[in-house]
Amino acid sequence: MRPALPTPVVAPREAGLSPDRLARIDRFLSERYIGTGKLPCAEVAVWRGGGLAHHVRLGHQDPERGVPLAEDTVYRIYSMTKPVTSVALMQLVEQGRIALDEPVHRHIPDWRDLGVYAAGFMETFRTRGAERPMLVVDLLRHTSGLTYGFQQRTNVDAAYRKQLLGDVGGPVSLEEMVGKLARLPLEFSPGTAWNYSVSTDICGRLVEIVSGQSLPDYFDEHIFGPLGMSETGFFVREDQAQRFASCWWCPPGGKPVLQDDPRTSLFLKPPVFVSGGGGLVSTMTDYLTFCRMLLEGGSLGGAQILSPKTVELMTQNHLPGGRDLTDMSISLFSEATYAGVGFGLGFAIGLDPARSLVPGSVGDFWWGGAASTYFWIDPAEDLICVFLTQLLPSTTYNVRRELRTLVYSAFTE
């Protein structure tokens, strides 16, 4: 693995940003979230004009033991893993080893005859035929008909919960999950709706099948190694353990309580379930590096991860008919708002800021993780923002929307 790539720093005014207004970010997070105990920590990086224009660390990586955030604190990034897995699969698309319009059952034969839920419970499911086969593109854009157990919406997701499918840290391996899903119905015919789901985990399994490598090995060789992302992986190494943050849970209307102690966490050992949908840990420097690669069209520091045309394809709206999530989503939970938002190949896509009522540009793209982490990339403004913290669930506060407003309000040009 190559050494970490340098992170250029640029003066805010040179990047078209007001230092005084950037300081509002620090005060806002400190006064509203850190000082009140709503968040254990917050780390924000704002990249514009070819360099890091603002970076702040607030709070503690382990509040119970009084350990402040370190320069290289390790965070659970959960669903911010999804863009990494999507990039990996698109690398194989570029090589002609798999295609977006191929049926998934070409690579997972047991999925050839997946039915769609009609009635019944797990032991007595009745199904109807799908209108068409599930395609690889359906997995990348979450129109596959799969679901997540935590959606708690249907008898199908109840079956996921009963069988512990898709649980990060769970006992069911990725290969086993794929086998079990072959015996469960889809929520809907592929391509007819959008539902946040284990689809990206299946993308991870496709990477393994097509490449012949385990997902961790593939990531290390083809993404993390070339980009010098030595702090990112599916578990916390021994040399990282003292820098691993605690994770907290906020019950409805309550105060945050410790959810995962960094000294006893399941993340301290290699997982049984290697989740391309939510299993990675990372640092600010590493994830910012990944985002910089995307902003630069797939290359960084001499390492070409993707073609610029592939990144362009991934960051277009792929929802059928050019619709947005308001039109297509049946999901009770997602890491994105819906109005004015489309979905690409691994990212939410900004279609209409006026409809979303959130500052941004047409064509910006983003995603978040269960522990309230978040990033967005705005190519039109040469902007990246990465926000890292450790609080479940991500719907607890509107901090992502607030952060977007604060960052864009700092623009001077």
Q: Which domains does the chain have, with CATH numbers?
A: 12-76+230-409 (3.40.710.10), 88-211 (no CATH)
Q: Which of 108, 118, 116, 113 has its CA nearest to residue 185? A: 116
Q: How far apart are CA 314 and CA 140, in angstroms?
A: 9
| pLDDT over 70 percentage in the chain | 100
30-34, 55-59, 355-359, 382-386: range with lowest mean pLDDT: 355-359
Q: In what order do the strands lie in the sheet with 247-249?
A: 257-260, 247-249, 391-392
- Residue 336 clears pLDDT 80, i.e. is over it: no
Q: How far apart are CA 7 and CA 4, in angstroms?
A: 9
Q: How far apart are CA 273 and CA 178, in angstroms?
A: 11
- Residue 338 clears pLDDT 90, i.e. is over it: no
> Tens digit of pLDDT for each residue in 342-393?
999 999 999 999 999 999 999 999 999 999 999 999 999 999 999 999 999 9
- Residue 1 clears pLDDT 90, i.e. is over it: no
- Residue 337 clears pLDDT 80, i.e. is over it: no
Question: Given this model, what pLDDT does residue 4 score?
Answer: 86
Which pair of structure tokens corresponds to residue 86? 């999507």
Amino acid at 1: M
Which pair of structure tokens corresponds to residue 358? 């959130």
- Residue 128 clears pLDDT 80, i.e. is over it: yes
- Residue 152 clears pLDDT 90, i.e. is over it: no
What DSSP line would sit under 206-246, residue for residue?
HHHHHHSS-HHHHHIIIIIHHHT-TT-BSS--GGGGGGBPP
Q: What does each C-alpha distance from 106 to 23, 49, 98, 102, 315 come to in angstroms? A: 53, 44, 9, 7, 26
- Residue 409 clears pLDDT 80, i.e. is over it: yes
Better-predicted residue by pLDDT, 335 or 241: 241
Question: Given this model, what pLDDT does residue 253 score?
Answer: 85
Report yes or no: 388 and 43 within 8 Å, Cβ to Cβ: yes
Report yes or no: 15 and 238 within 8 Å, Cβ to Cβ: no
Question: Given this model, what pLDDT does residue 123 score?
Answer: 84
- H runs (alpha helix) in 223-362: 225-227, 284-295, 308-314, 325-328, 353-356
Question: Given this model, what pLDDT does residue 61 score?
Answer: 97
Beta-bridge partners for 46 = 54, 385
Question: Given this model, what pLDDT does residue 88 score?
Answer: 98
Mean pLDDT of 263-269: 97
- Residue 295 clears pLDDT 80, i.e. is over it: yes
Question: Given this model, what pLDDT does residue 332 score?
Answer: 80
Beta-bridge partners for 343 = 348
